[in-house]
Amino acid sequence: MMTALLGGLSPTRFLRDVWHKRPLLIRNAIPGFTGLLSPGEMQRLAARDDVESRLVQGSGTHWQLDHGPFSKRDFKRLPKTDWTLLVQSLNHLLPAADTLLARFNFIPHARLDDLMVSYAVSGGSVGPHFDSYDVFLLQGQGHRRWRISTQTDLAILDDVPLKILRHFEAEDEWVLGPGDLLYLPPHVAHYGVAEDECMTYSIGFRAPTTEEMAHGFLMHLQDTIALEGRYADPDLRLQAHPGEIGRAMLGQIEGMIAKIKWGKRDVAEFAGRYLSEPKPNVFFDAPDTPLNRAAFNKYTNKHGIALNPKSRLLFAGKRFFINGEAFTPAAGETALLRQLADQRHLAPPVPATLRERLYDWYEAGWLEIDTP
């Protein structure tokens, strides 16, 4: 199944020869795939205030971008052509989308962003653009024409609400139908236009900038490092210029700052917390009527448990991270938690060694009871 998804390539060969290196078109990557929801169901999702949605209209150099939630009236006012509706994080909203995302687990979970779906009428597009991350574009219903380019000119239009390329010269062109998959590495320019009423599922991956990572790490150090001492100058001497920051003061400040040190453990701790932290717009809902511990144990021993699709469970060595929090499990828990991090569910029976921890996660909404 995995080799069909990757056009006959094994995950090892795909990562070695294609990932982050060159585009790849896979015809019939998922045979029989026509999508996960209807346009009407997608519009209902876009009407929710807890769902991130966008509406793009236009072509050429004229574009309009609106953010949801949207009403039925908004959709009734739209023209017959040249518009696209996008819904982000479909894997948080639809179990089938979470299952689809699991097909791409040959990429580390720490790199995964989300599954976005776009619905477009004829001529609908978000314009020629490039992404700074890897993306798989899976076609559901309908047909979309993709043109791509490895051009180095990535200048964008001014005064446009989208990052539309100023110049775009296609090098390759394909029409994708249901089940077809297009992989694009970062910075490959692409331009998708709906040939008819169509839906495309985009599997995107996280690629933080160096500045974002450095800023996050500095914030992590601020929260975790404690330095002793205070500025003092018992040997202070009279300065010719009171307004000058003297060499002695600068030297002492340099020495104080030099006490800030970090190692591989600090980096791993930061990476785990940072990469498992949910997006700012992600919230967890506790169960309305939670099971008590005894009922929880009985139920999960029969049916198992699963992570909430919004939850991120990662590990580095013996250290585990869930939704921005870190912990070191007992020795008997490690193998089971690694299994949960990899597979995102545990089949019954759930071992007693995990019950207390898992029940706390269940009460926080981080966990779901894996009903049959």
Domain spans of the chain?
2-205, 210-264, 293-369
Q: Which fold has domain 2-205?
A: Jelly Rolls (2.60.120)
Q: Which residues pair with 203 in a beta bridge?
A: 115, 136
Query: For position 1, what pLDDT does the model report?
Result: 59
Contact 274, 220 (CB under 8 A): yes
Contact 116, 90 (CB under 8 A): yes
pLDDT beneath 50, residues of the chain: 372
Q: Which amino acid is at 340?
A: L
From CA 143, how far away is CA 27, in angstroms rounded? 13
Residue recorded with tokens 């330095």:
227
Q: Which amino acid is at 256?
A: M
The first and second tokens of residue 139, run together, are 């076609």
Query: For position 370, what pLDDT does the model report?
Result: 63
Q: Which amino acid is at 113?
A: D
From CA 43, how far away is CA 38, in angstroms rounded? 9
Q: How many residues does the chain have?
A: 372
For 143-170, how does the pLDDT look when each residue is reduced to its tens digit (9 = 90+)?
Answer: 999 999 999 999 999 999 999 999 999 9
Strand 172-176 relative to strand 144-149, pairing: antiparallel
Contact 316, 274 (CB under 8 A): no
Q: pTM (2 decimals)?
A: 0.92
From CA 228, how far away is CA 255, in angstroms rounded? 12
H/E/C letters for each residue in the chain? CHHHHCCCCCHHHHHHHCCCCCCEEECCCCCCCCCCCCHHHHHHHHCCCCCCEEEEEEECCEEEEEECCCCHHHHHCCCCCCEEEEECCHHHCCHHHHHHHHCCCCCCHHHEEEEEEEEECCCCCCCCECCCCCEEEEECCCCEEEEEECCCCCCECCCCCCCCECCCCCCEEEEECCCCEEEECCCCEEEEEECCCEEEEEEEECCCCHHHHHHHHHHHHHHHCCCCCCCCCCCCCCCCCCCCCCHHHHHHHHHHHCCCCCCHHHHHHHHHHHHHCCCCCCCCCCCCCCCCHHHHHHHHHHHCEEECCCCCEEEECCEEEECCEEECCCHHHHHHHHHHHHHCEECCCCCHHHHHHHHHHHHHCCEEECCC
Beginning with the edge strand found earlier in the chain, give each strand of the sheet holding 53-59 in spatial order.
Answer: 24-26, 181-184, 135-139, 198-205, 112-120, 83-87, 53-59, 62-67
How distant, in Å, are the alpha carbons of 19, 98, 201 from that of 104?
Answer: 12, 11, 13
Contact 195, 122 (CB under 8 A): yes
Contact 123, 56 (CB under 8 A): no
Q: Which residues pair with 184 in a beta bridge?
A: 135
Question: Please, what's the b/e burial string for 210-247 (b: 16 or more CB within 10 A of its CB; e: otherwise)?
Answer: eeeeeebbeebeeeeeeeeeeeeeeeeeeeeeeeeeee
From CA 24, how far away is CA 31, in angstroms rounded? 17
Q: Which residues pair with 149 in a beta bridge?
A: 189
